[in-house]
Structure formats: C-alpha cells, structure tokens
Structure 1
Amino acid sequence: MKLTERLRPALLRWDRLLAVAALALPFVAAMLAGFAWMIEHGWLIEFIVGSISLGGLVALIRLLRLWMRGRAAGAAPRPDQLHARVDPAWGEREIGAFEAAQVYIEERTASPLPWEDLQPIAQEVVQRVAAASGKGDKGVLDFTVPEALLLIDRVAVRLRSDIRDKVPFSDSISVGTLLWLWQRRDVAWKVKKHGWNAWRVIRAVKSLPTAVLREIEGVIAEGHSSFVTSEGTAILQALLLEEVAAAAVELYSGRLRFSDSELLDLGLASSDLDRARLAASDMPLRIAVAGQISAGKSSLVNALLGADLAEVDVIPTTDAPKTYPTDFDGVETMLLDMPGLDGSDRLARTVAGELARADLVIWTIRANRPAREIDRATIALLREIISGDPRRRMPPVVVVVSCVDALLPGWPFPEGHLTAEAMERVTEVVAAVQQDIADPRATANTIPVVLTEPDWNVDRLRARIDSLVGPALDTQRNRLRIEAKTSGMRREAARAGRGLR
C-alpha cells in the first residue's frame, strides 16, 4: 500500500477534527472568558449554585410528569375506537372468543413489547380463540387454502379503504417512489440528524440565551415524547394482535368457507324443500310459526299475510308444514305453518328439527291455556339441537301470546285502547308466559295479540318481525355455511376434472 493511501484516512480524520475545532473554538473562548469575568467579580459560586438548582428543578419536573403519566396510564382504559372492528354478524360464541383474546392482549400489551416477541404472542392468541370457539384441538394452520385466500382478499380490501381514507397523498405517490425512499432511509436519517445539529449551532450563534432556553425545553419535552412513542407502540401492537384475533374468529367460525356470492348459489339448493311444498320462486328467508294444537298458528299466519290462506277450524288443521309466500321489511319470505304439538315426543323432535333449519321462529302460545310445558320442552329441545354444534346460531324467537281477548272482560274496547285494568291483566299474562317458558333469550320478544276481529297489536308484531330481519339473515348465512356439502367423492372428482382441463 502506498504511503499516501495510508496517510489519507488519518488526514481525513484530522480534517474533520479541525472543522469541529473551528466551530467549537468561539464557544470555548466565550465560556473561558465568562468564567474569568465571574471569578473577577465574585459570581462563580452563585453561578454554580444556580446551575445545580436549575438542573435539579428540571429533573424534579421530569420525575413528577412521569409519575403523573404513569398513574393516568394505569387508570385510563384505551379508547374504544382503537380496538379492532367486530363483525356485527358474529354470534355469542364468536364474540365471547374475541373478548377472551382481548383480555389476554390487554395483559400482554400493558407496556411495549419487542417486535420479535409478537409472533409467539400472536400464536397464543390464535390458540385462545380456538379454545374459546370450541375448536381447541385445532392448530394454528388448520385452515384450507381457499379460506386463507378469502381472508387475504378481505384484509386487502379493508386495508385499501383505510389507506385511501386516512393516508395523505396515497393516490399520488407511486410504489417506485416509496421503494426509493425506503432504500435511502439511512441517508435521510443522517441528513435529518446533521441538519438538526446545524440548526442548534445556528440558533446558539444568533442568540445564546434563547438557545439555552430551547435546549431546556427540549429536555423537558423529551420525556413526554418518549412516553407518547411508548404508549403509541403498545396501542399499535394491541391493534395488530386484535386483528389476528378477529381473523382467527373468522377462520374457526367457518365464515371464510364461502364468499357472499357463493352463499347465494347455495341458497338455491337450500330452498329445494320449500319449492317442493309450494311451486313458487326461491325465497331467501324461512320463518316458521310453531306452537301447540289450536294455539292460533294458522290465524296468526292469516293475520301476517293479510288474507285467509291458511285453513282455520276448531280442530287441528295442520298435519304437515305448509308454506306461504310473503315479505317482511322488503325481504321475500317463506312463512311455514308447522304442525301443532300434541305432546308426543316424535312430533316434538320433528318440529324442533324443522325449526333448527328456520331463520326466525314465531312461537304461538294461547293466553287462556295454562298448560305450557309442551312449549317449554320443545323450545329447550330446539336450543339443545342448536347448541350441539358450536358453529350453529340460534334463530331469533318471537313469542306471540294469542287469544288475549278471552281474558279481558269488556272486550272489544273503543279503538283498541285498553283500560288500566286490562293492561295490568295483559302484563300479568305475559309475565306468566315468560316464567313458564323459563328461557329469557327466547321470551325477550313477547308480543300479546288478538287475532279475531277486531284484531289488536298485530301491527306491533309485524314491526317487531321487521326489526329482526337482519339477525334472521345472519342466521340464514350461518346455516348455509354449515349445511353446504364441501366434501363427497362426486363433487371432489368433478373438481379434479375441471382442474385437469
């Protein structure tokens, strides 16, 4: 190696040292002159005491602010808007699984974590969601390729929407520009660092007292900035883990087995039974009307249809499910008039099995019939069938208390306005029905009605059914996902044949 090549690094280092010395020399000279002036006038001791006092005051303020922020951070929960979005179509089990994961995430992200530690924590979150979903035997990667692709598609669409709404210039900056900036991020960081240091020097040259005050302000604000950065990191990590939990809920609930367009195709096969009962077009919603013999089911069907289509008589008229087309809240519906329950176990199981395939259940109970054990047992059997499969969703239930007029002396009342005594009597009957059924979730929507002329409260009943169309459609989607046959040799052979073409 030549001598000049050996001396060049040293000369370059000396060049830098000389530049630094040239910049620092005026400040050092000013400091020495200042100390000499203070010694000459006897102010050195006061200067030292003042400097120590100022430093102690700054340290005390920083400690006090950190202590107050620590108390506030421990007492105040994270804002609700910083949580991952929950699908309103989730059932109780799915919401419970997500909330169980949320509790674990809040415990682990109470303080910022190293980013490399997030992967094992995310795996634990998935395991906890699987356990809370009743799928604790599943592994982290126990899902199919179509499910994974559908999840990626949904996340990508949501990410695109968030970027367009919340990231400025996202429509203007190209990917090539972003890549160029990322590749030169070290240079940008150095430019920022040296530029800031140069600004500090210029500021000190222009006004030394102002520069000193700004430096003190920067020291005080440094603790606040670091706290905000730390808290923001913890919130961001919690959001990422909650998104993992939400994705796990979607995977284990079976919601990613089919897209919405595929569910529309599956709806055609699901309505084959309805088309066999009535030669009509496909109806997407199935509402079943059930109850004991002569409880007023057929009269209720006629009242909801606005026409006398269902046969009504003093003897039981429905020996098999009959289907009637109508609509609720603009959604086409098949109204199923179920056979009346007579106390036989075989019929109760048949009706409960049919109700398990319904999207909404209207349960009719006669107000002047105190024997309600058949109703209670059949509703309990329906809930047992649904809860037997953790993936199933219980259809919404509306309990209709019919023949209320039989318990109201003086009926009919002018313009259908009940007296105080009549209203009290109706309230007692509704409370008795709810107590006998002993299922608060099923009797949450209990509507007393009069179905004979002049009818009463039927409009309120229809309004309540209209309000439950959304949950009924969610129940239908849940049912279609579960009932769809994704396996079978014939289907798989056909799929393989299409793949080989």
Structure 2
Amino acid sequence: TVPEALALIERVAGELRPFFRENIPLGDQITVGQLIKLYGWRGLIDYAERAYDLWRIIRLLNPVSAATHEIREQFSRRMYEIGREHIIRKLAERFVEEVGRAAIDLYGGRLRVTADELERYVTPATQRDQAEIAARAAEPLRLLVAGQLNAGKSSLVNALSEEVRAAVDTLPATPSFQAYELRREGLPAALIIDSPGLQGGEAETTQLIEAAAESDLIVWVVDASRADREIDRASIEAIRRYFAEHPNRRRPPMMLVLSHIDRLRPFQEWSPPYDIDKAERPKAKSIRAAMEAVGADLGFSLDDIIPACLDDSVGIYNVDAVWSRIAALLPEAQRANLVRRLGGLSGRFDWSRLWRQALNAGRVISRVVVR
C-alpha cells in the first residue's frame, strides 16, 4: 500500500542519515542543491580530462619534473579511487542492508502501523487487566454496621469517619440504610453502611438480611449495659441461616463492638485504658465478663469482640482496636467481595449477547437453507 511504501522510504532514509553524516566527507555540509548542480556538471568531466591530458604532454618539456609530478599524481589518483570505491561500496552495502531489513518488516506487516500508533497500542491482555483493576476500584468493600436501637451504631460510624477525615460531627437516628465513604491510610476504599436500629420486626429482619447479602464485612454493635439480647441473637441467626441456605454466596466475616462499656460496674470508675487480658481492675473485670457473656450468647469468639466507648461526652476509647480488627478481617472480606461481585455479574442477563446469538443462529440457518 502507499502508506507502507512511504513508511519504507522513511525507514531507509532515517537509517542512512547518520551513516551519511558520519562516514561521507562533508556529508553534513553538502546540500541537495549542490548535489543537483554537480550532477548537471557531469558532462564537463570529459573536457576536464582532455585538458588535463594536454597539460601532461606540455609538462614533458621538463622530463624530470614531469616524471615526479606523474608519479605523485598517479599515487594520489590511486588513493582517491580506492577511497571513492570504498565509500561507494560501503554506502551501497548499507543501503542494501537497510532496504532488506525494511522489506522484511514490510512483508511481515510491521510497517502497517506508525511508531506513534505502536507506542499508544495496548494489548487485549493489558486491557482486560486494566478493566479488572478499574472494576475492583469501582466496587469498594461494603461494611455493614448493625445492632439494636440505641446500641451505638451511628456513633461508631461517626467515630470511624472522624478517624479518617471528620466527615460529620454527629449522625442522627438512622431511619433507613445510609452509606458513607470511608478511607484510611493503608486500607482499601470502603463504604460503611449505617442501618436502622433493630426492634424485632419481621420486615426489618428481611431488610437486614438483604443488606447483609450485599455486604463484605458485618460489624455488630451491642450495648454492654443491656442484658436483653434476644433481638440480636435472632437477627444474627437469621443472617447465618441465610448464608447456610445459599452456599453459592460467601458469608461475610462478622465482628462485634461492645459499646457503652463506661456504664458497667463500678459506675463511677472510668480511667482507660484497661488491660482486658489481665483484668486486674474492677472495671476491667466487668468488661471482660461482659465480653464473655455476649460472646457465648451470640456466638462470637473473644478475638472478634472489641470493647469500646463511643460517647463524646465521656471520651472516645478503643476505636483504634476496632480499626485493627477490621484490618485483620480484610482478606476474608475481600474474598467475600469477589464472590459477591461474581454472583452479581454471572446472574445478570445479557440481552446484547442474546441478540448476537440470535443473529449468528440466523446466519447458520440461512446457509443451510441455501445449500
């Protein structure tokens, strides 16, 4: 094609340019106009040679001088011819070499694209990987915060948000599921979803299960000062039962935040931090006992229970431990996120694919009918 022929010329000229500049005497000074003039004067070479022969005959009047000049000029002419032949041969070799390489590229199809097009080209494999990375960034982790009414869910959401960027000062009672962007250095982007407080209704349990099915990590908030945990128990069991009945879905990891620990006995004592492992102080013993009771009642291990105070008037306490537990559960949450996205993608009906299949089927049928 014409573009390929032009690319061939460009390729050969580009390769010969440095050779001409570096190896041809005055190659970087000679202009195209001078070359054209020299080519036009090529007919004068015969006249110059005849005049030179006449001068050689006249010079014989002085035989000694003529012999000396003749020897010197023969030597100079021989050296000139050798140098000229060497340059011409090298130039021809380089020209043939570059034309050959370019011809191979031409017939190999590599001159069909320009250097700029080649630089901008992205292979299908890279496009797939980039699309996967973009899809991963487009679907962040979803953290669901759930629990009974006034357990401290919104306070936890607010505390976690303040840890990152103080997005809000206070969060009102949540009438419906509300999502907030959550960012923290070293952790992937996420959405934290505040849920309405549970009061034991069947409809709210159904909504909670639907929200859990679209979540990657569940943070359950329990008031440490309340003993009535039947609503928590029933709701958590409903979520676990749902995922047991749907093995194609991966149950998101669950952790529990034990809030309002400042209200435990002794009521007047509040001087954190508390060493829950040793539990030597009275308050620490009460917190430890509450953790064990809630864990046994709701089916959580002590590692998955984080005691915290989320009351601004008393002082926010142990939110860093909540973050640490979230970070520890991230690998499992990311696996749940992957399974959830795969389920949503595979379950989506592709009408465009159906249309293409119908068209292809029509073409096959038409070929059979024609035959």
Distance, in Å, in 1 between the alignment partners of 2:142 and 2:359 is 34
Code of the aligned partner of 2:141: L
Deviations 1:19-76 (A, max 9, x none): xxxxxxxxxxxxxxxxxxxxxxxxxxxxxxxxxxxxxxxxxxxxxxxxxxxxxxxxxx
Q: How does 1:103-182 map to 2 (within 5 A)?
A: none
Number of matched residues? 224
Deviations 1:334-382 (A, max 9, x none): 0100111011011011112101210000000000111111111111111
**Conservation of the 8 A alpha-carbon contact between 2:274 and 2:284:** no
**Conservation of the 8 A alpha-carbon contact between 1:359 and 1:395:** yes
- The answer to whether 1:412 aligns with 2:273 is no
Q: How does 1:310-325 map to 2 (within 5 A)?
A: 311-312=170-171, 317-325=173-181
Code of the aligned partner of 1:391: N
CA 484–420 in structure 1, closer or farther in 2 if over 3 Å, else same: same
CA RMSD of aligned residues (A): 2.8
Distance, in Å, in 2 between the alignment partners of 1:468 and 1:361 is 10
SS at 1:364's partner residue?
strand
- The answer to whether 1:398 aligns with 2:259 is no
Distance, in Å, in 1 between the alignment partners of 2:309 and 2:190 is 23
Code of the aligned partner of 2:205: A
Code of the aligned partner of 2:187: G
Task: Kindly state the Cα deviation for residue 311 of structure 1 after the two structures are TM-superposed.
Answer: 4.2
CA 386–264 in structure 1, closer or farther in 2 if over 3 Å, else same: farther
Distance, in Å, in 2 between the alignment partners of 1:487 and 1:426 is 47
**What corresponds to 1:359 in structure 2?**
216
SS at 2:210's partner residue?
helix
- The answer to whether 1:288 aligns with 2:150 is no
**What corresponds to 2:242 in structure 1?**
385
Given the two structures, how large is their TM-score scaled by the length of structure 1? 0.41
Code of the aligned partner of 1:446: I
Given the two structures, how large is their TM-score scaled by the length of structure 2? 0.55
Distance, in Å, in 2 between the alignment partners of 1:367 and 1:260 is 47
**Conservation of the 8 A alpha-carbon contact between 1:296 and 1:366:** yes
Q: Which moved more, 1:404-413 or 1:290-299?
A: 404-413
**What corresponds to 2:153 in structure 1?**
297
**Conservation of the 8 A alpha-carbon contact between 1:393 and 1:475:** yes
Task: Kindly state the Cα deviation for residue 495 of structure 1 after the two structures are TM-superposed.
Answer: 4.5
Match of 1:466 among 327, 332, 336: 327
**What corresponds to 1:426 in structure 2?**
287
Task: Kindly state the Cα deviation for residue 305 of structure 1 after the two structures are TM-superposed.
Answer: 0.9
SS at 1:416's partner residue?
coil
CA 324–496 in structure 1, closer or farther in 2 if over 3 Å, else same: same
Distance, in Å, in 2 between the alignment partners of 1:295 and 1:379 is 15
Distance, in Å, in 1 between the alignment partners of 2:158 and 2:354 is 48
**What corresponds to 2:342 in structure 1?**
481
- The answer to whether 1:309 aligns with 2:168 is yes
Distance, in Å, in 2 between the alignment partners of 1:354 and 1:325 is 17
SS at 2:226's partner residue?
coil
Percent sequence identity over aligned pairs:
29
**Conservation of the 8 A alpha-carbon contact between 1:263 and 1:481:** no
SS at 1:468's partner residue?
helix
Match of 2:296 among 423, 435, 457: 435
**Conservation of the 8 A alpha-carbon contact between 1:283 and 1:332:** no
Distance, in Å, in 2 between the alignment partners of 1:287 and 1:345 is 23
**Conservation of the 8 A alpha-carbon contact between 1:301 and 1:310:** no
Structure 2 residues without counterparts, runs of 5 or longer: 1-127, 364-371
**Conservation of the 8 A alpha-carbon contact between 2:143 and 2:217:** yes
Structure 1 residues without counterparts, runs of 5 or longer: 1-258, 269-281
